[in-house]
Structure formats: C-alpha cells, structure tokens
Chains A and B, each alone.
Chain A
Amino acid sequence: MKDAEKLFLGKNPYRTKDDGAFLRAVRENVRFHAENNPKYAQILDRFGFCADDIMNEADLYKIPVLPTLYLKRNELFTVPKEKLVLKAASSGTSGRASVVGFDRKSMLYGFGMTARFFAFYHMISIFPANYIVLGFEPDGQTGLGAAKTAYGVTKFAPAVHRTYALVKTGHGYVENKEGVLNALLRHEKQGFPVRLVGFPAYLYFLLRELKQRGISLRLHKRSMIILGGGWKRFAGEKIDSDALFGLAHETLGIARENCLEFFSAVEHPLPYCKCKNGHFHVPVYSRVIVRDVETLLPVPNGTPGILSFVSPLVTSMPLVSVMTDDIAVLRDAKYCGCGIQTPYFDVLGRANARGIRTCAATAEELAGGGKT
C-alpha cells in the first residue's frame, strides 16, 4: 500500500501533486472491499461498477456512494469484527447514530494523517497545556465519536489537567458550568497554555457566561481554541465565527489566529480545517463531490448540492465514497485567496424539510412503543 502511505503520511496536507497516488489508492481500496465484503460487492454489481472503471478524477463520482442514512441502518464491515481496534458512534442528532469501526491499518494511516495535519496547524507541542473539553467526558461504553475525538485532541500537547463541560453521572451527563469557570480562573495563574476543545455552542455559552459575570481573563499567549461539530440543537442561538472568536479574545485573551474550526464526520473520519477566510479546503487525502439534490450527479463548482467525499483511508469498512446530509457548495481555490491551492467547500445547512413541523408520529416513537 505504498500509495496510501505516500498519500496519508506526506508532509503538506494541501499539496496539489500526488503523481496519481490518490487514484491508485482509491482503486486499490475499492478492489479490496469488493473482494472481501460480499454485501458491498452486491451493491457494486447493482450499479455495474468495478474498480477499473476509475480511469481519472472525473470518474470518482461513479463509485456507488453510501449515504449516512445507509450506514446508520446497515452494518457493513469488510474485516472481521474482532480485528476492529476502535469503534465510534455519531451523536445521532436526528435519531439514529452510525456505528463505525476501524482496523489497525486504518488507524495507523488515520493517526499518521492526523498528526501531519495538526502539525501543519502547529497544534502538536511538547509544551504541556491545561484542557477545557467543551463536550462529553469520555465514557468507555457509549463510544460517542465526538467524545473520542475531543479526548484525542487533548493528546496533542501533554495534558496537565482536563476539565469537561459535560460530566458523566453514571446515568447520563450533567453540565459542569462552575467547574469549568473555576478551572479557567486557576489556569490563568498557572502559566501553561490553555486549550479549549469541543462544540462551538458550548464555547459560546461559556464565553457569554464570562461576559455576564464581567470576567476578563488573560490566558497564556499560546492558548488555543479548537472547535468541531455543529450547533445541533442549539442552532437557534448560532452566531458567526467572527463574533464568537471576537468574544473569545475579549473574555479569554486568545488571539484570532489561535482559534481553529474543524469539520469531520464519523462516516468520513478525515479532518477539514477552516482557513483564515473561513473555508474548508480539501486536503490531499480526499476529494469532495457536490451532487445534484435529485439526480446525485456532480454539479458544477459554485452550485449547491449534497456534500459527498471520496477517500481511500478506511479498510475496515467501505467508506471510500460516502454522502453526508449536508448541503454545500464547492469552489475553486482562486475565489478564496488564503494561499491554499486546493478547492474549498462551505456548508449551507442540513438536508431536511426545513421549517416544516409535524404532528405525525416519528419512527423512533413508533419503534419505542411510547418510551423515550
């Protein structure tokens, strides 16, 4: 798998030349799943598709694309389950969660890629830091992907201490507002950088609380804010990044350039980071295809459609071509101007019947026999 190695372990995540390594790695990945996953092979057959049909980049959209919804409802492991070393579940904002699993090889490339990627953003440091995790305290059982990712991020610089905004009680999570505020007050005096990691909504609530209480901290100048995930059920309170990070500067003293926003998905566990102009550029590890909302064929850049990805990272499951529930627009690098030479996407929102409300029972209600 030399191509995959070259692809995932190379230094600059936004290099534009890969000598065909991406296409070869994708072909190899599709072939591997087709040979080892009968259910996936059936799907390829149904679409009359085989790995050799990928001649160039323009053919990538033809790889049968698996929507998030399919992965939520169907198990599709290519390797035996006992070979899975990490399992993660999506947060299931609108009901069901996807469960995905990774084998040793996927993990190896995944870690290598993540390390390279985060090093590019100067997030890897030997200098210790205090962490405020704006999300769930990890729990051995639930396997929430978001908890695992946030915990993983607290390994990028040695942790002096970790404080969680949502702490486990044994039968759920409770907010830990006072704990977080006290930790911040302590950390200001300790002389280590502070890293706030997690959901944007929780950061906003924390900053708002600080402002209301008239608290203005001057954290260590190498402190960082590292955000990922959507506003989910707090969508109504969403504020834009500039306002959010302006507030962070005001209340915590963290500079704008130390505030990073990431995008990822359990079904597509690759990192995307907003550039200084607020765009998610596509790294060398993947290709983004925006698809027509009716035909699922690729739309020209600049046209909104369903956000889908192609990447040969994962060997444990056929996640080589997956489709999110997000509506996005892909644009050429030249319209951004931040210096990164790859195309970028902006997420416009989630595919649903927006604004429509219903009194008809939902699938969860019917399946749960009235229990919630």
Chain B
Amino acid sequence: MNLIHGKRMNAEQSKRELAQIGESVLRSLAAGRLARKDVIAACDKLSRKLSEQEHLALLVSSGMRPELAKTELAAFKSMLSRGYLERRVEREFGDWTERTFQPLDMDRSVRQKWAPLGVLLHISAGNADALPAYSVIEGLLTENVNILKLPGDGDELSLRILEELIGIEPRIAEKVFVFDTPSDDIAAMERLADAADAIVVWGGDAAVSAVRSMAKPDTRIVEWGHKISFAYVSGDEVSDGELTELARHICETNQLLCNSCQGIYVDTDSFEQVTAFAERFYPILERAAEEDPLPDNPFRAAQATLALYTEELEAVHMKKRVFRGKRCGVVAYGDSALTPSCAARCVWVRALPGECILQTLKPYKNHLQTAALVCGKGEIRKFEEALVAAGAVRIVSVGGISAHYCGMPHDGEFALRRYMRIVSCEYEGADGTGDRSNETK
C-alpha cells in the first residue's frame, strides 16, 4: 500500500505520484521545514495514545508473541516520548545546533548550524516490525523530507503509525511519501533515488550493493547493514549465573537480531577446553529453552534438525562435537571462524586465545557489532581494547547484551547526525549581531 499526501493509494494512483515525485519533494522543500519541536510534540502525543488495550492486538497480529509485544510496545512508547527524544537529540548533537564564534585564523565571526540533508529515501528491510516507520521518524526529527520504500511484503504496522502521526500533525503528510514499489522495478527505484539527497538503506550486503550500484555519485548512502554479535569467555571463574543470562538472551532473541549472540569464543587454544565448555553450556541452554518454549513449527524444527544433523555427519571426519536435543544445540568447532548460528537456539563454541583476537576478527571488520565479555574484572579493559581494535562497536557484560538506552549509538554511529550536514555561514554579519565575541558554544 502507498501513503502519499496523507492518503492511502492503490498501485495505479501511486504510479502517477511516482512520475512526479521530483516536483512533489521540491514543493515540500519550498514550503519550509517542519520544526523538530513540532515533530517531537506529535511523537509525544502518539506515545501517550499508545495503549495495551488498543495496540497490543495489532502487534500480536503481526506475528509477535504476546509477552514480547508488551515489552516492544512499552519500549516504543518510551522512545517516542518527549523526554526521550529531547534527551536523545541532546546526546547526539551535544549542546548546540547553531553556534557563532570567531575562528582562530579569521578576523570576523562565523556561524555554523546543523541543517537537514534535504530529502531522504529510506529503503527498509522487513526484519523488525515498525522499523520503516522508525526510520522515517528519525528523518522527520532531522527535519528532512522522507520517501519510504516499504519492504516487499509491505508493512501495515508502519503505515498505521505514520497515519496516526499525520492525524496528530497534518503537516507531516507533505513530509512523508510512502511507496511499495518492488526493488526490482529498477526504473521506479532510480526515479525515487534521483529525488533524494541521501539513501538510507537497511538490509544485508545484497541490498547495500544494489543501492550502491543504483545511486549516482552525487547521492549520499547511509548504510544500516547486517551485523554479528558474540560472547567472549575468559578465565576459570565463569559462573553458571552468567551463562544462564547468556542462554536466556539467546532464547529470547532466537539469535535473529544484530545484537544477538551467535556463538561463544573461549580464551584458549585447546579443542578439549572448547568441548568441555560446550558440554557445560548445553544443559544451561536447554533449561533456558525449556523455560521459554517456541511455538510448534515443523518448518523451523526441520531446519534446526537438518543443520545439527549435518554437523554430526561432518563431525565424523572433522574436528567438531555436537550436543543437541529437541529444543537447542551447542556445537564445538576446531576453528576460530566467526559465523552466524546454524539455526535458532543453536550456539557455536570456538577457541580464540586473547592474543589472537585482533588478527582473527579483523577480516570481519564492518560486520562486527556487540561483544559480550565474561571475564575477570582485571582483564576487561585488555579485551575491550582488542575487540574494539578488531572492529566491534559495543562491549557489554552478558546481562546487558539485549539492553538499549537513550542516546545509544547505532552500529557505531549517531543516526541523527548522519541525516544532517553542518552549514558554515561566513558573510559579514553572519553571526546576526556583528558582534566579534570570542568563541562561544
């Protein structure tokens, strides 16, 4: 479904809109920016409107488990509230959005200000519910005009959220253009890209490559690609409590998110120790899986069985050990490769001596996200440095692996900053007063 000028449109109507998208965004830009404070006010109103009675069912109908839907709804409510958004903007931009100062090597004052890039084309993957709407809200918070290309299977939830926002603040209708054009309609995609100053792409390497080949050199690309996360365990004093927390996180996320732990590196070079750790972790994971059972799904069960059974067959002639049950599996490997888990609730365990962290993980540079550390307090800094040097962007204790906080960078970046540019005004009187004050913040 398409959402243009605040109205839902069918394929035919949207084709006409697509043909004139360049003119439409120019009109929108000429009409002036929609101030951030007004966007925040609209989001805050939406946040207050969201209620379990009314909106929980919508999330559940989109395929979410009821308990998870409750948590997600609460998180979404909080992330749209005025307090949260104002604090977030402050964290990302520091304490100025416009400043005047006299540079060291100039005899008059200049003015610098953050300005929107102009028009953002959001190409969203369908991996997380309401992500497309969230991406557009970030575009609105930075006072951009937004074109959203929905994922192939549409996204009713995102459409509903954007409609609600337009209902609260009708001026948003001319700042958001939603199309459900399929990605393989190259001509349409190029038309959308031509109208944009930057393309915000969510998705895997294939999606990112497709955008890179489609975008002209004058169009900025903001990539939110696929990432991988893992745990790193060192020392003998690892408690069952910490491992239980890790196991719960694995079951809660089913290893589907970029911050989900896919596997566990053990600080050793011995396969025997890796196997021993896998054997110890297996019953802990099984207990967590039992406490948080997945709904019956023969397609998913078959995929996990086929994956783990294949590992067992390979273990006949390779350095591998498989511990598997009905609900989960742990595989000890003889190498140190970084891989996704072979199925939901299946974890790999591999050796990675501390001194090899950098050289082993460096090849995965821009795919690394979270490393959860389980080690003695005295060693945390040492491992943090090695993991950061290898490319990890988030270092956490196991308990906090799923956590999120206000002002948290996204994959090593502040998202809002990426949607803006810094304009420098250097004419006589640019500082507004003609006052030659000293550098001010």
Contacts and interface: CB of A to CB of B under 8 A. Distances in A.
Interface of A: 39, 42-43, 46, 64, 66-70, 73-74, 236, 293-294, 296, 304-306, 323, 325, 327, 349-366, 368-372
A360 B255 contact: yes
A256 to B, nearest CB: 31
Interface stretch (B82-90, B136-144, B270-278, B305-313): B305-313
Nearest to B152: A236
A351 B303 contact: yes
A46 B309 CA distance: 13
A360 B316 contact: no
B127 A43 contact: no
Contacts of B310: 67, 69-70, 73
B298 A356 contact: no
Nearest to B184: A233
6 contacts: A74-B314, A306-B302, A359-B127, A359-B257, A365-B204, A370-B367
Given A306-B306, A366-B338, A372-B209, A70 B313 contact: yes
Contacts of A236: 152-153
Interface of B: 63, 125-128, 152-153, 202, 204-206, 209, 225-229, 254-258, 260, 262, 297-303, 305-307, 309-310, 313-314, 316-317, 326, 338-340, 343-344, 363-364, 366-367
B298 A305 contact: yes
Contacts of B227: 359-361
Among the interface residues A64, A293, A349, A358, which one has the most CB atoms of the partner chain B within 10 A?
A358
Contacts of B256: 356-360
B274 to A, nearest CB: 20
B316 to A, nearest CB: 5
Contacts of A43: 313, 316
Contact of A361 (B152, B226, B302, B303): B226
Given A357-B127, A361-B226, A366-B340, A372 B262 contact: no
Given A43-B316, A294-B326, A353-B344, A67 B309 contact: yes
Given A360-B260, A365-B204, 6 more contacts: A69-B306, A293-B298, A352-B303, A360-B227, A361-B226, A366-B228
B338 to A, nearest CB: 6
Contact of A39 (B255, B303, B317): B317
Contacts of B344: 353, 356
Contacts of B313: 43, 64, 66-67, 70
A362 B340 contact: yes
B125 A306 contact: no
Contacts of B255: 358, 360
B152 to A, nearest CB: 7
Given A70-B313, A357-B126, A327 B338 contact: no
Contacts of A325: 302-303, 306
B338 A360 contact: no
Contacts of A356: 254, 256, 300, 344
Contacts of A364: 205
A70 B314 contact: yes
A62 to B, nearest CB: 15
Q: Which 9 residue pairs spanning A and B have beta carbons closest together? A: A351-B302, A361-B226, A293-B302, A357-B127, A358-B256, A293-B301, A361-B228, A69-B310, A359-B127
